[in-house]
C-alpha cells in the first residue's frame, strides 16, 4: 500500500479546527494565501510527494548512502528528485522575498514538510536541515553574510546542516572541544575539531553545503556559556557570490544506522576551516536554539508522519486480510472475516488514527504560533503569547509524538502479523526510521526536563498561562460538551500535579529529573485531548449545519474522539501515580548493585 497525502484531514484541521483562513487575514504574508491558492499548493505538493518521493523510500532504505574517500553518493533517484524539487520552486516556498523566496507563511511549509517526511523520511531531511540553517542565518548573521549565503540556499542550490555533537559530548554541549582561532580578517576564524552524527553533512545534491557550527573562542569561559556559533561553507564563497576553492572541512565517514539509510549521517572534520562568526561571542547556544527549536518541531512531524503512514498501511491490510469468524459474521460466504472487524485489531487501528490525527492538530497549531512570532504585523503582546505557547508545546510535540510513533509503528507490525516483520511489506522500515525521532534534538528525557524544569518551574508556571487560558476558554464556551467536561478535570489535575512537583523539588531537586518523562507524557495526552475536543465540537457543528455530503467523515471524527477519551486518556492515571510516588525508588539502588554477573 502506497502512502497517500491525507488532504481531507489537513483541510479539516486548517479550516474547521484552527481557522487558518481567518488567521491568514491578520498579517501581510498570510493575506496572499487565499483558499484556492492554498489548495493548489497542497495539491501539487501531494503529487510531488506521492509520485516522486514515496517510490524512492524503499530504494533509499535498501541501497542507502555510499561513502568513498570523502565523497557521499545518495541512493538512486534521490538526486534527481532534489533537482525536480528545486526546479519547481519548493525550497523557496516560505523564504523571505528579499532573498528570492515566495514569502508564504511558515505554517504552509510545515504542512508540506509533513507530506515529505511521510513519503520519504530520509530524503526530507536534506531540505529540512537547510530550512533551519537559513532561519538561523537570517535571525543572527550580519547583512553581509545574509546577502552572500541566503539567496542560493533559499533557491535550493546550496543546502545547510547543524553541527553540534562531538564524540565525547551529546546533549551536554558544554563539554565540546571544537575551537575557533582568530584571523587577520574581521569576523573570520579558523575552525578546528570533529563533529559526529551530522545529518546531510555530505551529499551529491547541491553545489555547496553551509555548516552551522558550534565552537569555542580562545578566551571562552568553560561550559555552555563559552560557546559561539559559526558559519562554515564546504566551498569558500567569492565576493561575487560564486563558489570558490574547497574549504578545509571534509566528511571522514558515514554511520551505518538502524534506519533512515537514505540520509547521510556524517563524521565531519574541520581542519582550520574558514568560518564566520554569526552570534555574539560566547552567545552561540542562544543563537543555535533558533535552529534547535526549528528542528524540534520538525522531529515532532517525524513522529506524527510515521504514525500516519503506519495507520494507512495497517488499515489497508486489515480490510483485506481474512482471519477468524466474527460475531455476527461480516462475510458469510467466506471462510473467515476481514480482521478489521475484530475488537483488538480496531484497538490498534484506532490508537494509530487517534495519535496521528491528534498529532497533526498539535503540529499545525504550533505552525500557527510560529507565524505569529515571525510576523511584524502582530503586537508584542500577541508575540509573547505565541512564544509562551511554543515554549510549552514544542517539547511536548517533539517528545510525546516521537514516543507515540514507536507505539503506532509497532502496532503496524502487529496488525500485519508475520508480514509486518518481513521487509517486502515496508512496515518494519517504519519502525526503524521512526526510532531516531526519540533521540534527535534531545532525548525524551531532555524534552521532559526542558518542559518541566527549564520552562514551567523556572517561570513559576507563568509560561503555562497562555495555553491554559485558551483551553479553559474553550471549556467554558463548550461547557455542555461531554469532552469539554472531561477535559476540565484533566487540566485541573495537570495544574495540581505541576504544583506538587514544584513543592517536592524544594526538598529534592532530583524529583524534577525523576518526574520529567512521565510529566511530559501526561501533558501530551491532555494536550491531544484538548485538540480532540476541538475536533469533536467542529464535527458536531458541521453535521448540525447540514454537512450531509461529508457526514461519514465527521462521524468518524466523533467516534475517534470517543475512543481517545475512553481508551487512551486513562493512561494519564498511571503517569500521575508514578510522579506522585516520587524519585526515591529510582535512587535506592547502589550503582554496584545494578547487576551481579
Residues forming the active site:
441
Distance CA 485, CA 212 (A): 48
Residues 6+ apart with CB under 8 A from 20: 14, 38, 107, 364, 368
Q: Cβ distance 388 to 467 under 8 Å?
A: yes
Burial bucket for residue 237 (CB in 10 Å: 0-12, 13-18, 19+): buried
End-to-end CA distance of the chain: 47
Separation between Cα atoms, residue 387 and residue 365, nearest integer Å: 13
Q: Which helix (H) or strand (E) holds 276?
A: strand 265-277
Contact at 8 Å (CB) between 150 and 137?
A: yes
SS (H, E, C) 469-528: HHHHHHHHHCCCCHHHHHHHHHHHHHHHHHHHHHHHHHHCCHHHHHHHHHHHHHHHHHHH
The CA-based angle 546-42-393, given to 5 degrees, is 85
**C-alpha triplet 361, 159, 295: angle, nearest 5°:** 30
- CB-based contact 331:338 (threshold 8 Å): yes
**Cell numbers at residue 387, please?**
512564544
Element (H, E) at 188: strand 188-199
Round to whole Å and give the CA distance between 356 and 556.
14
Residue identified by cell 500485519 is 416
Partner residues linked to 193 by β-bridges: 270
Main-chain phi, psi angles of 261, to 5 degrees? -65, -25
Q: CA distances (Å), 441 to each of 169, 198, 450, 484, in order?
A: 13, 12, 12, 34
> How far lies 547's CA from each of 16, 45, 555, in Å?
12, 27, 11
Can you tell me the distance from the alpha carbon of 95 to that of 154, in angstroms, rounded to the nearest whole number?
A: 6
Strands 158-163 and 208-215: parallel
Contact 406, 431 (CB under 8 A): yes
DSSP secondary structure string for all residues of 3-29: ----HHHHHHIIIIIS-HHHHHTTSHH
Cell output for 430: 517504519
77 phi, psi to nearest 5 deg: 90, -20
DSSP bridge pairs for 194: 269
Amino acid at each position: 500500500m502506497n502512502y497517500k497525502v491525507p488532504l481531507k484531514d489537513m483541510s479539516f484541521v486548517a479550516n474547521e479546527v484552527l481557522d487558518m483562513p481567518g488567521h491568514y487575514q491578520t498579517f501581510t504574508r498570510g493575506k496572499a494565501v487565499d483558499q484556492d491558492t492554498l489548495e493548489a499548493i497542497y495539491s501539487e505538493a501531494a503529487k510531488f510527494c506521492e509520485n516522486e518521493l514515496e517510490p524512492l523510500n524503499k530504494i533509499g532504505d535498501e541501497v542507502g548512502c555510499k561513502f568513498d574517500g570523502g565523497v557521499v553518493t545518495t541512493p538512486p533517484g534521490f538526486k534527481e528528485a532534489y533537482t525536480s524539487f528545486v526546479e519547481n520552486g519548493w525550497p523557496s516556498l516560505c523564504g523571505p522575498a528579499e532573498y528570492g523566496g515566495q514569502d508564504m507563511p511558515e505554517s504552509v511549509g510545515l504542512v508540506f514538510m509533513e507530506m515529505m517526511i511521510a513519503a520519504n523520511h530520509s530524503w526530507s531531511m536534506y531540505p529540512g536541515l537547510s530550512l533551519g540553517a537559513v532561519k538561523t542565518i537570517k535571525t543572527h548573521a550580519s547583512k553581509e553574510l545574509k546577502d552572500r549565503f541566503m539567496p542560493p540556499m533559499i533557491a535550493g542550490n546550496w543546502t545547510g546542516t547543524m553541527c553540534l555533537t562531538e564524540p565525547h559530548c551529546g546533549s551536554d554541549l558544554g563539554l565540546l572541544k571544537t575551537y575557533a582561532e582568530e584571523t587577520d580578517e574581521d569576523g573570520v576564524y579558523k575552525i578546528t575539531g570533529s563533529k559526529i552524527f551530522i545529518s546531510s553533512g555530505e551529499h551529491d545534491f547541491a553545489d555547496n553545503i553551509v555548516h552551522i557550527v558550534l565552537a569555542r573562542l580562545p578566551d571562552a569561559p568553560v561550559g555552555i556559556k563559552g560557546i559561539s556559533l559559526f558559519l562554515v561553507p564546504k566551498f569558500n564563497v567569492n565576493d561575487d557570490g560564486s563558489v570558490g576553492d574547497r574549504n578545509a572541512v571534509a566528511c571522514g565517514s558515514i554511520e551505518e544506522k538502524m534506519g533512515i539509510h537514505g540520509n547521510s549521517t556524517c563524521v565531519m572534520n574541520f581542519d582550520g576551516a574558514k568560518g564566520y562568526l554569526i552570534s555574539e561571542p560566547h552567545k552561540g547556544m542562544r543563537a543555535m536554539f533558533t535552529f534547535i527549536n526549528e528542528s524540534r518541531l520538525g522531529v515532532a512531524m517525524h513522529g506524527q508522519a510515521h504514525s500516519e503512514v503506519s495507520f494507512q498501511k495497517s488499515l489497508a491490510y486489515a480490510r483485506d486480510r481474512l482471519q477468524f469468524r466474527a460475531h455476527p459474521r461480516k462475510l458469510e460466504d467466506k471462510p473467515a472475516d476481514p480482521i478489521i472487524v475484530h475488537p483488538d485489531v480496531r484497538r490498534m487501528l484506532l490508537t494509530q488514527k487517534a495519535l496521528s490525527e491528534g498529532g497533526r492538530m498539535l503540529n499545525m497549531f504550533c505552525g500557527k504560533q510560529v507565524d505569529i512570532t515571525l510576523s511584524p504585523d502582530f503586537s508584542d503582546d500577541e508575540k509573547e503569547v505565541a512564544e509562551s505557547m511554543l515554549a510549552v508545546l514544542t517539547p511536548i510535540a517533539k517528545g510525546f509524538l516521537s514516543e507515540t510513533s514507536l507505539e503506532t509503528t509497532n502496532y503496524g507490525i502487529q496488525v500485519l502479523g508475520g508480514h509486518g516483520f518481513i521487509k517486502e511489506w515496508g512496515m518494519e522500515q517504519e519502525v526503524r526510521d521512526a526510532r531516531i525521532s526519540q533521540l534527535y534534538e534531545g532525548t525524551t528525557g531532555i524534552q521532559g526536563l526542558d518542559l518541566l524544569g527549564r520552562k514551567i518551574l523556572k517561570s513559576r508556571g507563568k509560561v503555562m498561562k497562555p495555553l491554559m487560558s485558551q483551553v479553559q476558554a474553550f471549556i467554558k464556551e463548550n461547557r455542555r460538551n461531554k469532552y469539554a467536561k472531561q477535559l476540565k478535570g484533566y487540566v485541573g489535575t495537570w495544574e495540581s500535579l505541576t504544583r506538587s512537583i514544584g513543592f517536592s523539588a524544594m526538598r529534592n531537586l532530583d524529583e524534577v529529573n525523576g518526574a520529567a518523562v512521565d510529566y511530559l507524557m501526561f501533558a501530551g495526552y491532555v494536550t491531544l485531548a484538548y485538540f480532540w475536543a476541538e475536533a469533536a465540537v467542529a464535527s458536531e457543528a458541521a453535521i448540525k449545519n447540514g454537512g450531509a455530503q461529508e457526514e461519514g467523515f465527521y462521524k468518524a471524527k466523533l467516534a475517534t474522539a470517543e475512543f481517545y477519551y475512553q481508551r487512551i486518556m486513562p493512561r494519564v492515571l498511571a503517569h500521575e501515580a508514578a510522579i506522585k510516588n516520587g524519585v526515591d525508588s529510582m535512587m535506592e539502588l547502589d550503582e554496584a548493585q545494578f547487576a551481579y554477573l
